[in-house]
Structure 1
Amino acid sequence: MALPRKLKNLNLFNDGNSYTGVAKSCTLPPIARKMEPYRGGGMNGPVKSDLGLSDDGIQFVWKTGGLDLISLRQFGAVNASAVLLRFSGPFQQDDTGDISVVEIVVRGRHENIEMGEATPGEDTEHSITTTCSYYKLTVDNEVIIEIDLLNFIENVNGVDMLERQRTAMGL
């Protein structure tokens, strides 16, 4: 029986700035599809049609300790891919000791910055929600998923999911 890979540590980079000792946690972006049920004559139940990515978009939520001037200065960025964030974390399997390096790169802009509660002598944190136009998940140097919303790119496990649609549209 094998043990699962568990996150042992993490680092976050914001436009190349290391958040070692500053990043407290990251909620890795959920990726979801928009599905619509269809049931026609002769079908005993619905089959969901895949209509692309979810309308909820791709969001990366992360927390920092203390005052984070870098993200505050980025707030209100006009470009939909203005901010580059990179999560890096070792996931270790305790029965073998093997480590998988997981990296998530996103580009987007901050939708929400919660400054948190300010109490003298207590810890403070910022909670930042970054809405993303680009997402790439890499495990052990292998790109698993890459989504570039602005350039109509969606690659999953090496398969270009939108190639035929781009061709049909003359792109």
Structure 2
Amino acid sequence: MGLPRKLKNANAFVDGESYLGIIGEFEEPKLVIATDDWRGGGMLGPIKVDMGLEGMEASLSMGGHEATLIRKFGTTRVDGVRVRLVGAYQADNGSAAQAVEVYIGGRFTEIDPGKSKAGDSTEQKYKVPLAYYRRVVDGRTEIEIDMLRGIFIVDGVDRYAEIMAIISN
């Protein structure tokens, strides 16, 4: 019988600065292939045609007020904020912990300072549309997407390399 690996603990680094003890939650982007319906002559019905990728968005929340993150708001670079999330996942079956690292490049487009009340818990939330995403498990890159450079690697295969080779010459 197997048991799922669950996140046991995590840390976030924003532009290299550690937020250990401060990071509350991180939401990875949904990975979605953009599709369009196509039904040509002779076909029984439509199929979904791959039209590239949809935009990606991540979010993170911090346990309280973080002035250094607020100062990053409004950067003019589409990948001006770099975040590295490090998580330790482990199944409760005696197996070794698994290292999962998520690297994103984007910029804060929304900062929600939440509610502030003396004596109550506070939390700030940050929305990050992405230009870059990479997920590494135990040192192995599982997926890498670079919207600006046209890179779409899954399990070591660049699924967009052929198209980039054609349009780059």
TM range (shorter): over 0.9
Alignment RMSD (CA, Å): 1.1
Name the counterpart of 1:71.
Answer: 69
CA distance in 2 between counterparts of 1:125 and 1:28 reads 18
Per-residue Cα deviation, 1:12-67 (whole angstroms, up to 9, x for no partner): 1111111111001111111111011212233233221110101xx11111100111
CA distance in 2 between counterparts of 1:170 and 1:102 reads 33
Identical counterparts, % of pairs: 36
Name the counterpart of 2:123.
Answer: 125
What secondary structure does 2:162 align onto? helix
CA distance in 2 between counterparts of 1:170 and 1:29 reads 28
Name the counterpart of 1:31.
Answer: 31
What secondary structure does 2:115 align onto? coil
Gaps of 5+ in 1: none
1:32-111 pair list within 5 angstroms: 32-54=32-54, 57-111=55-109
CA distance in 2 between counterparts of 1:134 and 1:170 reads 20
Instruction: Give TM-score scaled by structure 1 length.
Output: 0.94
Per-residue Cα deviation, 1:82-121 (whole angstroms, up to 9, x for no partner): 1110011011011232221111000110010000001111
CA distance in 1 between counterparts of 2:3 and 2:64 reads 35
CA distance in 2 between counterparts of 1:131 and 1:7 reads 24
Name the counterpart of 2:7.
Answer: 7
Q: Point out 4+ residue stretches in structure 1 off by more than 6 angstroms.
A: none
CA distance in 1 between counterparts of 2:9 and 2:43 reads 49
Gaps of 5+ in 2: none
